[in-house]
Structure 1
Amino acid sequence: MNQKLKKIMIVDDNEFDCYITSKLIASFDSSIDIMEFNSSVTAIQYLEEYQEDLEKLPKLIFLDIYMPILDGFEFIEKFKTLSENIKNYTKICILSTTVDDFHIHKAKENENVFFTSKPITMEFIQSITF
C-alpha cells in the first residue's frame, strides 16, 4: 500500500465486516487513521461537510454495495455530485460478496472506483497503489 494512504473510510452496515476490514488494515499499517461508518447516509454527510478539507478526507473508501436506505451505487452517485477537490483526492473500492457480473461491471464503470470481493486480503491491501 502506498504510504500516501493515511486515512481510510470503511462504509459497511455489517459491523462484523467493518471490524474485520479495519483490523486487517491496522495490522498492515497501524498509523493509518481508519474511519468506520455503519451507515452510508452518515458517511456521505461526513464527506459533504468536509469535501474541501483534505486533512479530514479519506484517500480511500472501502464501500459495501448492499446497504439499507442508500446502497453502494447510490452512494457513488451522491459522491459524484461533490466537489472536484474530493473527487480528485479520494478513490472508492467496492467490497462485496456479490458474484453478479452486472454489479461487478457497474462497479468498474467509473475510473475512480475499483472492486474486490469480501473479505479483503493482506495481498490486496499491499497491492493498492495510487
Structure 2
Amino acid sequence: MPKLSFILLVDDDSTTNFLNELMLRKLAVADQLLVALNGKEALDILLEHCESPVSPCPLLVFLDINMPVMNGFEFLEAYAQLPWAKQRATVIVMLTTSLHARDTQRAKQLHVADFISKPLTPEKVTAIVKKHFPQDYWSHAPQP
C-alpha cells in the first residue's frame, strides 16, 4: 500500500493513541503521523501545517467524538469555517465507540467521509485508504 504524506490522530485517550500510532507505523501507511488530544489541538495542527508552504496538510484525520476542551463535533463545526481549499484535501473519519444513530446522522451532516467503530484495525485502515485514496490518486500524487 502506498504511503500517505500525513495522518492526524485526534483522541484524548493516550492508550488508544499509542496503539493506533504503533499500528499505523507498522503498516507504514504515512510519512508523517501526528497526535492531538482534542479538537482544539487538532485545529492548531491543521492551521500550522495547512497554511505553511513547506509542510503538508494531513490527507487523513481519524477523529474521536468525546473529548475535553473541544469534542469531535465542535472540531467539525470549526473546521467547516476554514477556506474550502483546506477542506477538500483532507478526509475525516470519525473513529468512535458511539454508534448511536444521532451521532452518525450528525457526522453525515458535517461532511465526515466515514464513521467507524473503535478499535482501529489494519483491515479498517486498508479499507479506508483504498476507498478514499484510489489507485488513480497514487498515479497523480507528487513524488518525493
Partner of 1:36: 35
- Using the size of structure 1 for normalisation, the TM-score is 0.87
- Using the size of structure 2 for normalisation, the TM-score is 0.80
1:105 lines up with 2:105 in the alignment: yes
RMSD of Structure 2 on Structure 1 (CA): 1.9
Cα distance change, pair 9–31 in 1 and its aligned pair in 2 (3 A): closer
1:47-66 maps to which residues of 2 (within 5 A)?
A: 47-53=46-52, 55-66=55-66
Q: Which amino acid aligns with 2:57?
A: L
- Give CA-to-partner distance per residue, 1:80-102, whole Å, 9 cap, x none: 11122210111111110013111
8 Å Cα contact 2:24-2:30 kept in structure 1: no
How many residue pairs were aligned? Answer: 129
5+ unaligned residues in a row in structure 2: which ranges? 134-144
8 Å Cα contact 1:52-1:85 kept in structure 2: no
Q: Which has the higher contact order (CA 8 A, sep 6+)?
A: 1
5+ unaligned residues in a row in structure 1: which ranges? none
Percent pairwise identity: 30
